[in-house]
Chains A and B, each alone.
Chain A
């Protein structure tokens, strides 16, 4: 060991090796098995045969699956944009010179602490009972029915996702804002830059790293959206709000299409990786330009 140019202590190998071994045994082996079964007709138990690419070819012929991809992308795009816009606005407001700053920050971070199942149940009640009653009293037609039972059910889920999703992103933006040197502002103020110009020319570029993180995490999370939908619409009405993860779960376990949905899951995995890599490249390039 002494002859090597750079020696690495054995203890590092041992600990990392053990943890990686465990991770491999439970996570990676399961993943590989899943990929393996996507080429079979396994039902989750019992005997199975190889079926080659049949499951994968089926995906492109199955209207439900295609629809689930459409919905999931639509949902992920809407949520990623809205969550980031709202979080950014909220972060700027919370970072302004306001009273009760700590209290307000505390309140706005609160939703993050609550589990999505329970939040889903609570909002289910609000959408089913409270808002229709309000809509009827005010005579607003589109509010007088349960939004989760209409074609616009996606917006109900978007609202809940924003409600619980903004907290984390806001905090990241706030931290980004706090690292912005106040001197820069004062200089800008002296130059006569107004609020919006100040934001677009100074604040936003400096927030680029936070922006990158938020965009990537948000897109990845929303492409796998699952909990809220299970708690609120169960994929309905019809298949209006069936996301890919929900489809995999429901049909893979309840519908006896285990290996087919396994193939679907592998495709979802590839999509998530592709989207994330794509985003990172674009956003990092932009960051470099600004930097």
Chain B
């Protein structure tokens, strides 16, 4: 009995202290800077700190928030009508959601808009509701998806960067003959299964496919046979447990010399260097076609900034955006992230992405095809099932036919307004 009283007593005391302490929290005015990416948290935080130091007199403070599971959090925030003041999002479905809810400030009058590369601005317009050409967001950094390769091993095996699918397959064969595994895939995290697809589909799908598919005048089955077959071909040269390898484990293993190529994006490079700082890597565009001119680099808007039009501190929020877009900061950002800047005149010079840099500069880029699919169309799950069937020994022709039929069926289910 005595013990119980002690326990209860302690609890009460603790609880009361908690209340008092919680009540004493600072009441400084805060501006929320919501970011959907975790990879760039450190560099954004450093920008926030600098900005706050320079603006101590304004009485407000910018606070970076990178929540777990940002998509869900953002949706619930929208439902609560509690939109963050400033947001850093990807140029994807999440942005479309926010933009179509009509909560974003029009940035047309801002000075930095003219300094943005038109192609990236267009990508933002493309994902806006009704493709409206008003800058509700400013693109900041672009990414690139393609083949990441271990440059040391390429040198060792005397390999050239392949320009066509046939050359690519030759490279794969040489690597296999040398007793190495050509690809390291990390399909335990289903989204990584999308990367080969996103790198190949723009090269091989017919022009205007996304629009035609939306209105139902074409199908995956009629147009994507080649992509499906080549996808399977890639799987045949992956490591044994590629379905069970996670993105993190895979990156670590790759940086430590396992496998020769990975099909992913520039965002993974940061992870490699964290795991092994002396790892040498570069990228090239996946040459899905034998027609060199069609082998695009898949590149999309990785980070864009937008502002809540009803923010109580709209001026400071906009000022912060202008600060982020200053050349110095734009440069720091892409160097830290191995990304490509949307700001004119800011160049990525790191050797680790040199292989795709030229294509990006020349505009030989295609946006991620999955940015144009309906949001509920979960292609990564379908691809994952496709790969799983392959591992389970299903006949290739049967498997790809079933896969494409499934794509069409699920696309139609998802494609309801």
Contacts and interface: CB of A to CB of B under 8 A. Distances in A.
Touch between A and B in complex, CB under 8 Å? Answer: yes
B81 A146 contact: no
B71 A146 contact: no
A165 interface: no
A257 B414 CA distance: 9
A146 B101 contact: no
Contacts of B249: 128-129
B243 interface: yes
B409 interface: yes
Contacts of B344: none
A237 to B, nearest CB: 5
Interface stretch (B3-11, B134-142, B381-389): B381-389
Given A44-B79, A128-B249, A255-B376, A237 B241 contact: no
A63 B188 contact: no
A250 B413 CA distance: 16
Contacts of A44: 75-76, 78-79
A150 B102 CA distance: 43
Given A45-B101, A63-B410, A149-B241, A239 B376 contact: no
A132 B244 contact: yes
B187 A237 contact: yes
Interface string B86-112: 000000010001001110000000000
A240 B100 CA distance: 33
Contact of A255 (B79, B378, B388, B409): B378
Contact of B381 (A45, A147, A236, A249): A236
B81 A151 contact: no
B79 to A, nearest CB: 5
Q: Provide the main secondary structure of the chain A interface.
A: loop
A237 B378 contact: no
Given A46-B101, A255-B375, A257-B376, A238 B241 contact: no
Contacts of B18: none
Contact of A253 (B72, B102, B241, B386): B72
Contacts of A146: 188, 241, 243-245
A58 B415 CA distance: 13
A239 B245 contact: no
Contacts, number: 104
Contacts of A234: 189-190
Nearest to B374: A256
Given A237-B187, A238-B388, A251-B376, A149 B81 contact: no
A242 to B, nearest CB: 8
Contacts of A254: 71-72, 75, 375
Interface residues on B, range: 35 or more
B384 to A, nearest CB: 4
Given A145-B240, A251-B376, A254-B72, A150 B381 contact: no
A132 B385 contact: no
Contacts of A255: 375-376, 378, 414
Contacts of A287: none
Contact of A236 (B97, B384, B413): B384
A213 B133 CA distance: 61
A181 interface: no
Of the listed residues A62, A129, A237, the one surrounded by the most CB atoms of chain B closer than 10 A to its CB is: A237
Given A62-B413, A238-B384, A128 B188 contact: yes
A255 B380 CA distance: 13
B246 interface: yes
Interface of A: 44-46, 58, 61-64, 124, 127-129, 132, 144-151, 234-240, 242, 249-251, 253-257
Given A235-B381, A237-B387, A239-B385, 17 more contacts: A45-B81, A46-B102, A63-B409, A128-B249, A146-B244, A150-B391, A151-B388, A236-B190, A237-B190, A237-B385, A237-B388, A238-B384, A238-B386, A239-B381, A254-B72, A254-B75, A257-B376
Interface of B: 71-72, 75-76, 78-79, 81, 93, 97, 100-102, 187-190, 240-246, 249, 375-376, 378, 381-382, 384-388, 391-392, 409-410, 413-414
13 contacts: A46-B101, A58-B413, A146-B188, A149-B187, A149-B242, A149-B243, A236-B190, A237-B187, A237-B388, A238-B381, A238-B386, A254-B72, A256-B97
